[in-house]
Chain A
Amino acid sequence: MSRVYRLSTPLGEDEVRRLRAGDVVYLSGLVFTARDAAHRRIIEVLESGGELPFPTRGLAVYHAGPVARRRDDGGWEILAAGPTTSARMEPVEPDFIRLTGVRMVIGKGGMGRGTAEACRRYGAVYAVFTGGAAVLAARAVERVEAVYWLEELGMAEAVWLLRVRDFGPLTVVIDSTGRNLYDEVMTRVRERLEELLGGAGGGGRGS
């Protein structure tokens, strides 16, 4: 049975390790966006011993490239900010979790074994927000604290440091025990696929 949690960043290791695949989280506090280019850059900075201009430890990284609009007072407003496909970040996410100390990775579409292993080892979870539900996500953004690397990376790829309130529902897909909800669904899907294809045996239609 899935449980519902209201959590705030910075997240502690214990509260993250209590989460189980299928649980629902509403998250408040600081979250930063990063997708392909920002992942590469953050890892480069940290691996070379440098410091990032924004905090990461205990926070959530959000795989998202928002539509943002500059307000008259010079600040930013997030208009739409749904998740992007997380699988693109899979090759570097284990290093990313290790180096940044994030406790939650938020995106859509699932992550692989490397991320699951990093979640288990370092005490983190991967949670998904409904893809395409971008206005719903933007409504949870109370404030844009800052934006980094906007000039070099552009609006979608920049790092947006966001203060969110009750961002969710986020469904935990990978927990810190290594369980992966999507793997379980996809295993059943592949079984059904083989049944459907095997059942027809290259033969007739209408089976």
Chain B
Amino acid sequence: MAGLEDSLRGFLVELIRTAVTRLPRDVYEALERALEAEENPVARRQLEAMLENVRLAVRLGRPLCQDTGTPVFYLRVGDGFPLRSRLYEVVAEAVREATRVVPLRPNAVDPLRGRNSGDNTGRYVPWVEVELVPGDGLEAVFVAKGGGSEAPTRLVMALPLRGWEAVREAVLRAVAEAGPKPCPPFVVGVGIAAGGDQALSLAKRAALLRPLGSRHPDPEAARLEEELLEEVNRLGLGPHGFGGRVTALDLHIEYGFRHPATYAVGVVFSCWALRRASGVFEPDGSWRITSEHI
């Protein structure tokens, strides 16, 4: 099993390295389209700097943002995957190793004592969400979630009477209040559910995991995504808050059924540097990165 653990750790380190040093192709292409759409010269300068920075990071193999974020893993684990109970420990070991070798900036801070652990691990860090699926392999998505884009997160426990209108208001207000801080143009993730934690969890997945340009399979949700994206961009915040047409690269909604008395709305932002990478690990120890990057 030790050999298999080594392979898994190696896979996860490469997943982290890929995510923090290279931008997903869909995000890069969305930034290129934003540059085509923008006319404001100050906004254009920001987008040009972003694109140049990504190319430079790839060439030098460096983290493209110094805030290498909070490490978050979304794992789909097969029923027969051999390392199930060791998974959390191997994931943490991979984060420690990546912190040394990529390197990552140590970002895990004990909130009660104010001490930085120095290796990006600590209580509930890395954050790991596991979904059990048929099979004996493992699918992993790693996201480096930046602190600046996490700060404007919003949870609104909306009045059920107001329904969708409350969602719309929550999102538009969140974007306006966030201003330049989360490094627009961002992806807005909107989560709707019975509980506050559930809404935020869905919003985070919507912001970080869905490919840019994709629409929700539910046609009603897809229609609302397009409407709300258009409205967010009509706010005119623009790249880095200098005004312009592209405030959000995309907007994704994820919803669960609510409770009759609750209508929880979560709003989560990505940074423009939306750092995610995905890959597949087989029970024989072989693996591959499946996401496309620039």
Contact = CB atoms under 8 A, between A and B. Distances in A.
Question: Is the pairing of A and B real?
Answer: yes
Interface of A: 2, 22, 24, 64-67, 69, 79-82, 84-85, 87, 108-110, 128, 130-139, 154-156, 169, 171, 181-182, 185-186, 188-190, 192-193, 196-197, 200, 202-203, 205-206
Given A135-B57, A189-B237, A181 B67 contact: no
A169 B65 contact: no
A58 to B, nearest CB: 25
Given A137-B66, A205-B227, 19 more contacts: A65-B66, A67-B105, A80-B105, A109-B148, A128-B240, A130-B46, A130-B53, A132-B273, A134-B53, A135-B60, A138-B66, A156-B105, A185-B238, A185-B241, A188-B243, A192-B236, A193-B173, A193-B235, A197-B172
Interface in B210-257: 224, 227, 231, 234-238, 240-243
A109 B181 contact: yes
Interface of B: 41-42, 45-46, 49-50, 52-53, 56-57, 60, 62-68, 103-107, 116, 118, 146-148, 151, 162, 164-165, 168-169, 172-173, 176, 179-181, 183, 224, 227, 231, 234-238, 240-243, 271-273
Contact of B179 (A24, A136, A189): A189
A171 B50 contact: no
**Most central of A130, A171, A192, A205 by chain B CB within 10 Å:** A130
Contacts of A139: 56
Contacts of A84: 67, 147-148
B147 to A, nearest CB: 8
A181 B5 CA distance: 53
B240 A80 contact: no
Contacts of B240: 108, 128, 130-131
Contacts of A108: 148, 180-181, 183, 240
Contacts of B242: 171, 181, 185
